[in-house]
Amino acid sequence: MSDTAIIQLPAARLVEAVKVAGQIPSAEFNAAQYLCNWWNQESGCEEALRCATVPLLWISSGNDRTFCPAHPDHGPAASGRLFEQPLWRSAVAECGPNIRAVFLREPKSADLDPQGFFHVYLVNGAEYESIGIDFIDYRPEAIEALRRFPARFSHEYESLFAAA
């Protein structure tokens, strides 16, 4: 992957993940895993980055290129320039101009610091956020965000579906 390119997530893959999220999730397979499997096996990312366990969707609903997390608990809105920064670029896939998928790695016990803050990391090892609780499992929230994506961001989902 070049220093300037962001990996492209196929619209059909994201549409299928949304469909899977709408079904009853199983322990063996779910929509979050489906997107992580794509990142780890098919995206063309560097081998060292193939450790995704959680995808977080960010959606831009306006022309100002401000992205909001698909799940409201995953942070405040951010400028689209955030995903283009070198620290983030190798952990992000874009699906058209209005959708970004940020990939997190599996949490480790060392991610809890002595002060009790849990650090969450992108697949490239950069810190995504630090939270003041022992541990948070982002997977159920990621699946819920995919499940609610068509209703919460209907215009963006219709555009995505048309592109698939």
Ordered by start, the domain boundaries in the chain are 7-107+139-159
Q: Give yes or no for a contact between 57 and 36, defined as CB atoms under 8 angstroms apart.
A: no
Q: Residues 23-51: what's their mean pLDDT?
A: 86
What are the Cα distances from residue 31, in Å, to 15, 27, 140, 156?
Answer: 10, 11, 10, 18
Tell me the pLDDT band of 35, cut-offs 50, 70 and 90: very high
Q: Give yes or no for a contact between 92 and 78, defined as CB atoms under 8 angstroms apart.
A: no
Question: Which residue(s) pair with 52 in the sheet?
Answer: 105
Has residue 103 got a pLDDT over 80? yes
Higher pLDDT, 71 or 99: 99
Q: Residues 58-72: what's their mean pLDDT?
A: 85
Has residue 62 got a pLDDT over 80? no
Exposed, middle or buried, 135 (CB in 10 Å: 0-12/13-18/19+)? exposed
What are the Cα distances from residue 105, in Å, to 22, 101, 140, 164?
Answer: 24, 13, 15, 27
Tell me the pLDDT band of 127, cut-offs 50, 70 and 90: confident
The CA distance from 128 to 143, in Å, is: 19
